């Protein structure tokens, strides 16, 4: 029995040390050296304090801010510990009702806007945490935001265009705008 138990315990201790301590320390050290911003959560810092992450959406609801995609997380929007979509298919009546309610809320917030509502303003992403919206979704909100901020719509529209992130290598992905970065730039606009 001792012939089996001792090698088993030594192997268990060695593997625990290698995979539970040494490997994570090496990977963390490499990440901190090569990609410190990403390794620390891609935090957005304003006035020396973290205000969010580039990778997780936030619940902006004020008329003077751009709104992101709806979040499907519970018990609160953009709950990173509960990432996941609503899992409602296109034939689900609950999805249709939720989209209709979101469209009505957007129309109520900006009654003069008769443009078609971009789909990403009324549907949640697969993770429920998407920090980006399409340029079309940002452009849709320009008049409402400009009026609420008391800034010309042309200035706000120019700010939106300056925040567009192009597809990686020019063709991978789609153009997008980080809502947190856009709202921070908007707050600095005078």
173: containing domain:
43-188
Same domain, 24 and 48: no
Same domain, 4 and 51: no
pTM (two decimals): 0.83
The DSSP bridge pattern shows strands 132-133 and 177-178 to be antiparallel
Report how many domains make up the chain.
2
Same domain, 79 and 52: yes
Q: Mean pLDDT, 10 residues at a time, over the chain (190 residues)?
A: 87 97 97 94 91 92 94 85 80 91 94 94 89 97 96 96 94 94 91
The pLDDT of residue 77: 87
Q: Where are the beta strands (DSSP E) in the chain?
A: 43-46, 49-53, 132-133, 177-178
CB atoms inside a 10 Å sphere around CB 162? 10
The pLDDT of residue 149: 94
Same domain, 51 and 130: yes
Same domain, 137 and 174: yes
Same domain, 16 and 103: no
Q: Encode 2-11: b = buried (16+ Cβ within 10 Å), e = exposed.
A: eeeeeeeeee
Same domain, 22 and 73: no
Same domain, 158 and 145: yes
* Residues 42-80: tens digit of each pLDDT: 999 998 899 999 999 999 999 999 999 999 887 888 888
Same domain, 183 and 164: yes
């Amino acid at each position: 029995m001792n012939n089996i138990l001792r090698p088993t315990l030594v192997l268990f201790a060695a593997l625990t040390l290698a995979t539970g301590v040494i490997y994570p320390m090496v990977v963390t050290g490499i990440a901190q050296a090569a990609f410190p911003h990403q390794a620390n959560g891609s935090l957005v810092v304003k006035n020396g304090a973290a205000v969010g992450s580039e990778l997780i959406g936030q619940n902006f609801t004020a008329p003077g801010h751009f709104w992101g995609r709806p979040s499907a997380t519970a018990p609160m929007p953009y709950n990173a510990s509960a990432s996941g979509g609503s899992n409602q298919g296109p034939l689900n009546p609950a999805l249709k009702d939720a989209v209709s309610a979101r469209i009505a809320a957007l129309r109520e917030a900006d009654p003069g806007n008769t443009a078609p509502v971009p789909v990403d303003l009324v549907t949640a992403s697969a993770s429920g945490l998407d920090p980006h919206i399409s340029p079309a979704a940002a452009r849709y909100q320009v008049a409402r935001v400009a009026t609420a901020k008391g800034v010309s719509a042309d200035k706000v529209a120019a700010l939106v265009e300056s925040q567009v992130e192009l597809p990686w290598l020019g063709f991978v992905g789609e153009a997008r705008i980080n809502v947190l970065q856009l709202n921070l730039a908007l707050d600095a606009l005078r």
